[in-house]
Amino acid sequence: EDKVVQSPLSLVVHEGDTVTLNCSYEVTNFRSLLWYKQEKKAPTFLFMLTSSGIEKKSGRLSSILDKKELSSILNITATQTGDSAIYLCAVPGGSEKLVFGKGTKLTVNP
């Protein structure tokens, strides 16, 4: 059965801290891994990582795929209160459905 596990489930930091969120997966025929950010509304797409694109960066956010370890990390540097959200990791599973992890709830305190 396809599975995505995220850790930690929740994290509280202070503004300016750097955080690392983890995602591990078990899926047949790995194709890609996606990161989403969910604030008080719909998840919004952040990154997609593939075998040909194992590292992505956008501003203070960056993500790396480790195919050997079947995992990915999402780094956020110099965190701001606006980074507070649930971060979701997902991989395409059987029948091209996305399998989501339970998410990491990040709280950034001023």
**Residues from 78 through 97 that contact another protein (CB under 8 A):** 88, 90, 92, 95-97
43 binds another protein (CB under 8 A): yes
DSSP-derived pairing of the beta strands 104-109 and 10-14: parallel
CB of residue 33 vs another protein: minimum separation in angstroms? 9
Half-sphere exposure of 65 (CA within 13 A, CB side): 21
CB of residue 29 vs another protein: minimum separation in angstroms? 13
Stretch that binds another protein, among 28-36, 53-61, 63-71, 75-83 (CB under 8 A): 28-36
24 binds another protein (CB under 8 A): no
106 binds another protein (CB under 8 A): no
